[in-house]
Structure 1
């Protein structure tokens, strides 16, 4: 029995799928990811201009980002669970449709509230793309072989993450920011067509589906209350107040009820038993810090370039290239090294160290810091994100049961998105508080600068009193320098918040079990386990049959002995 069962996996592992079979299936998936990334990155550099034009303040700026991250985080485990229950191809097509239609609708926003609402719907689709892309990759590519294809994903990331902000800046400066929300539509239609024609996943056994609706509602309530409290506390109400007690208490109660529901559910949204897996638990902890660094940097570096260095949206897109370069080079290079040598842990450790270094160094920047140094700091942070982001999902998929690949992958992605959501909320709240305090401290200097402008000073004063996010690049120089210094200090202090989380991430990575990567895809692992089960069943059947035959022989011998005795 052991010989048969051990040979099945090795036979599967010895024959990795050729590229000509994998590439057509990946083409639609790659384009779907490109649509998702382009629709997000093309808006990043124009967001300060958008909030200014819609008369929004710093809180509105934070919530435009947080709304997307929040619904992405909440919907990710839902999509992941659905991926274990229903057709994955249909799910990813649905996710693309939701994402792009909501993105297009956001282009018609007239108020910050409308934009926030459409961005929240957009996050639902983004959660599906984040979870399902990882699950489908595990269906068609083994963990060990996945690095071979990281170059393709790196190319897609390069075009979307570098080209997106640049394209967004050019569109904003020449045709207006609303066109940024429409640019992804043709790519989305093409992605849906290609997915339909090229993505052919192995058939899955049909079974009755149970959706954990109570779990979805309770998780949404717990996370939403926590983020609303973080965003509004200290501004709309005091940190220690009745509102704080109600929101934090409600979040804790919803979280406790969520745990109770998950323990009783037939198909839990997040199977809590998975936290018994040491790899899953530690990867979740590490993913939180990665999410804070990744989302926090992408949001607030764009603000730093425009509000602290007076850059236009196009210039801001160019100035963030060092971080994207670090992310791309590290993710592509490490992916290739993992495939070649099969070792993953050293790269995760180095990536976690770079997260700490990048986050800390960015907390020291000022409005006049040499841009070469700022570029180096961004590169280090990007390299840290590139080494940790995908590889944490990879090691979890490598140790999870084939039947739980969906919830395992989406679980790590969920906590990464949750970490990013909380990180952006906390960093945004800290930035808003810092800016308010620094503006109050600089009141005398601002008054003197405005008075020196003469008649034009009244117009500047009116803009500042409106409370909307200022357009620093358009301010007179004497006022612009003051605001650049204020926003530089506020943003740099916000980056300091990410440092302790990055340290915790490093500790978690150090304790991750260093298990070798398998060469089997999820489908092949399911086939191998079914083959093992069949082998065990046959062996047990043979043992039962042999036992029955032995008993029959014993009975026959006893009958013969009794007959002989009676004859005597």
Structure 2
């Protein structure tokens, strides 16, 4: 695979044009990531306005599920039809869904429009990372992928803040209206800056049965995870019924993709050892990162008695660490042309910090909390941007879109599983109603952080097995 000529169009773009393209891609990624968090702080206001409290959790879940299950489909379509047209469709769907969400008059209508928005959000994620593979060779992508990886962490911290400000000073409708000018800017940047990207030469044969089976296989799994996350019960019959449907759908998907002449999900990717190892690393790392993003502020409140505002402020260190780690790791890949040491370093750091938190706890010292969470963020950042470059360098460039989309898909699925798994473990330890004393809560969180360390240890084993091959340059 690595000897295949890279058909990237890096020679078509000047450094100034590359910067403008990256700015547009960052904006597109920010839009898709922001929309997962900006709604959270407005849910009670939305429910009070539209009613339908029982349906409230699906305002968030509808977007998450729709954007996740479509991610690999968008990646493959961009390989077959070209990045620019598919990205423009994604932005249009996203903006349309945002506009209709702002105009929603009932909870069911809002949930349906969030599905439309999620259908666009999946493309924003998948294709934005893949475009970098079209404008820069692997040897030069690290720094840019660092910027893009840092965008996720930035959106995670900006979302709740912006949502709260809009609700307090304007209305919840502005949570969706804000996407219109930002989406228009992303559309313009994509339309004008990517016109010179070449289109695939041959007429594609779309594996629509494969696309349908991807949706049918993944949607029940995500619904099952959502049910477990809401109840904390891993023995829920409804959740396991969803998992059974997902397994059946996955089996049917594998049979379909083996027979399809141009499969929506090329199975030969998983015979590539570097690709498969990198997918395992990103999935396990995301399990730990997303779970700790939810559980660390909860530990601050339940164990140390901090307010929600104080807990949120102490999370800034982890966010800054993640952004800084992504940027520095990407810069290191660009300058050295090597990537293997970075996931090992990042995973080792995350593992060590999980053990420190499990043994010492959080909330005793602002200095200690800042140091530990900053190190956790740096550890996470060192894993994500190098893995993107690793995958793009290891696969045939003609599969670049679907390969990066698979990485994003497993990253999202890993995060969902991690939150559900460790949240259920915590709820089981806290007992009925979660009314444990601070001492009991401290013991429960200690077990949870040890479990997170166990996942990080598995991630480290996978990182040690990652093979390093030279990054392709412009030649």
Scaled by the length of structure 1, the TM-score of the pair is 0.71
2:261 to 259, 266, 271: 266
Whether 2:83 is the aligned partner of 1:88: answer yes
Tell me what 2:272 maps to.
277
Tell me what 1:289 maps to.
284
Tell me what 1:75 maps to.
70
Tell me, yes or no, if the aligned pair for 2:147 and 2:326 is still in contact at 8 Å: no
Tell me what 2:365 maps to.
370
Deviates more, 1:490-499 or 1:408-417: 490-499
Deviates more, 1:430-439 or 1:30-39: 430-439
Whether 2:340 is the aligned partner of 1:345: answer yes
Tell me what 2:31 maps to.
35
Task: Show the 5 A alignment for 1:123-162.
Answer: 123-149=118-144, 153=148, 160-162=155-157
Tell me what 1:219 maps to.
214
Seen in structure 2, the aligned counterparts of structure 1 residues 161 and 180 have a Cα distance that, compared at 3 Å, is same
Seen in structure 2, the aligned counterparts of structure 1 residues 399 and 245 have a Cα distance that, compared at 3 Å, is closer
The CA distance in 2 between the partners of 1:364 and 1:42, in whole Å, is 33
Whether 2:468 is the aligned partner of 1:514: answer yes
Deviation at 1:74, TM superposition (A): 1.4
The CA distance in 2 between the partners of 1:115 and 1:361, in whole Å, is 43
Whether 2:195 is the aligned partner of 1:200: answer yes
Deviation at 1:312, TM superposition (A): 4.9
Tell me what 1:183 maps to.
178
Whether 2:405 is the aligned partner of 1:419: answer no
Tell me what 2:244 maps to.
249
Tell me, yes or no, if the aligned pair for 2:221 and 2:243 is still in contact at 8 Å: yes
Deviations 1:192-226 (A, max 9, x none): 12222222343223433233232233333333333
Q: Which runs of 5+ in 2 are unaligned?
A: none
The CA distance in 2 between the partners of 1:104 and 1:319, in whole Å, is 34
The CA distance in 1 between the partners of 2:262 and 2:184, in whole Å, is 33
The CA distance in 1 between the partners of 2:138 and 2:98, in whole Å, is 33
Scaled by the length of structure 2, the TM-score of the pair is 0.83
Deviation at 1:148, TM superposition (A): 4.5
Task: Show the 5 A alignment for 1:458-537.
Answer: 494-520=448-474
Task: Show the 5 A alignment for 1:103-122.
Answer: 103-107=98-102, 117-122=112-117
The CA distance in 1 between the partners of 2:112 and 2:369, in whole Å, is 34
Seen in structure 2, the aligned counterparts of structure 1 residues 428 and 103 have a Cα distance that, compared at 3 Å, is farther
Deviation at 1:70, TM superposition (A): 3.0
Q: Secondary structure at the match of 1:390?
A: helix
1:311 to 307, 311, 332: 307
Deviations 1:223-250 (A, max 9, x none): 3333434444698898668656644433
Deviations 1:29-51 (A, max 9, x none): 2322233344344345x267569
Q: Secondary structure at the match of 1:144?
A: helix
Q: Secondary structure at the match of 1:224?
A: helix
Seen in structure 2, the aligned counterparts of structure 1 residues 173 and 86 have a Cα distance that, compared at 3 Å, is same
Seen in structure 2, the aligned counterparts of structure 1 residues 198 and 376 have a Cα distance that, compared at 3 Å, is same
Q: Which has the larger radius of gyration?
A: 1
Tell me, yes or no, if the aligned pair for 2:10 and 2:137 is still in contact at 8 Å: no
RMSD: 4.0
The CA distance in 1 between the partners of 2:95 and 2:195, in whole Å, is 23
Tell me, yes or no, if the aligned pair for 2:143 and 2:331 is still in contact at 8 Å: yes
Seen in structure 2, the aligned counterparts of structure 1 residues 293 and 98 have a Cα distance that, compared at 3 Å, is farther
Deviations 1:137-163 (A, max 9, x none): 100011111234467547866864554
Tell me, yes or no, if the aligned pair for 2:130 and 2:400 is still in contact at 8 Å: yes
Tell me what 1:23 maps to.
19
